[in-house]
């Protein structure tokens, strides 16, 4: 006939042990390999300088990929507040902070943001700045 060398699947795999075929992955490693996402959890915010709102405290809120996750919460300089909110995200995920102006003073003020590209090894801190304010965002991705 065509002279094709036929091999069975079993004969091709007979020299490979199970450890070469499979390995155990953590949830974080699996999410990176899949290219999908993970769970973003924001633990807390700390106002290093709350200066965006000229009428008092910043009315800070957090968005993830454009959707509000938390807030607004009133912040003065030096104040820390627990957020304790999380959600599933695809990577990359965009996190942004805003000062809510309630429509009286125009658009909400952008306080800065950052992008998450994959799991963190424990808690990470991102410093964001904008519109006269600076915040530290404490977060985890798994």
Question: What's residue 56's pLDDT?
Answer: 86
Residue 101, CA atoms < 13 Å, CB-side half-sphere? 13
- The kind and range of the H/E element at 84 are strand 80-90
Residue 108's SS3 state is: coil
Question: What's residue 23's pLDDT?
Answer: 53
CB burial of residue 15 (10 Å; 0-12, 13-18, 19+): exposed
pLDDT surpasses 80 at 18: no
Q: What is the pTM of this model?
A: 0.75
Q: Residue 8: which pLDDT band, with cuts at 50, 70 and 90?
A: very low
pLDDT surpasses 70 at 104: no
Residue 42 forms beta bridges with which residues? 85, 139
| Token pair listed for 133 | 């304010």
| Token pair listed for 46 | 């700390």
How many angstroms separate the CA atoms of 61 and 72, rounded? 4
Average pLDDT over residues 112-125: 96
CA atoms 115, 121, 122, 123: torsion sign:
negative
pLDDT surpasses 80 at 65: yes
Q: Residue 25: which pLDDT band, with cuts at 50, 70 and 90?
A: low
Average pLDDT over residues 87-110: 89
pLDDT surpasses 80 at 78: yes
């Amino acid at each position: 006939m065509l002279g094709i060398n036929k091999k069975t699947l079993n004969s091709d795999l007979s020299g490979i042990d199970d450890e070469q075929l499979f390995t155990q992955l953590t949830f974080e490693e699996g999410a990176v390999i899949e290219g999908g996402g993970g769970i973003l959890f924001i633990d807390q915010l700390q106002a290093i300088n709350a200066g965006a709102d000229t009428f008092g405290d910043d009315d800070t809120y957090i968005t993830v990929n454009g959707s509000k996750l938390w807030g607004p919460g009133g912040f003065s300089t030096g104040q820390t507040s627990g957020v304790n909110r999380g959600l599933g995200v695809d990577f990359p995920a965009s996190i942004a902070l805003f000062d809510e102006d309630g429509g009286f003073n125009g658009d909400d003020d952008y306080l800065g943001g950052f992008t998450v590209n994959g799991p963190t090894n424990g808690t990470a801190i991102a410093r964001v700045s904008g519109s006269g304010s600076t915040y530290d965002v404490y977060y985890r991705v798994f």
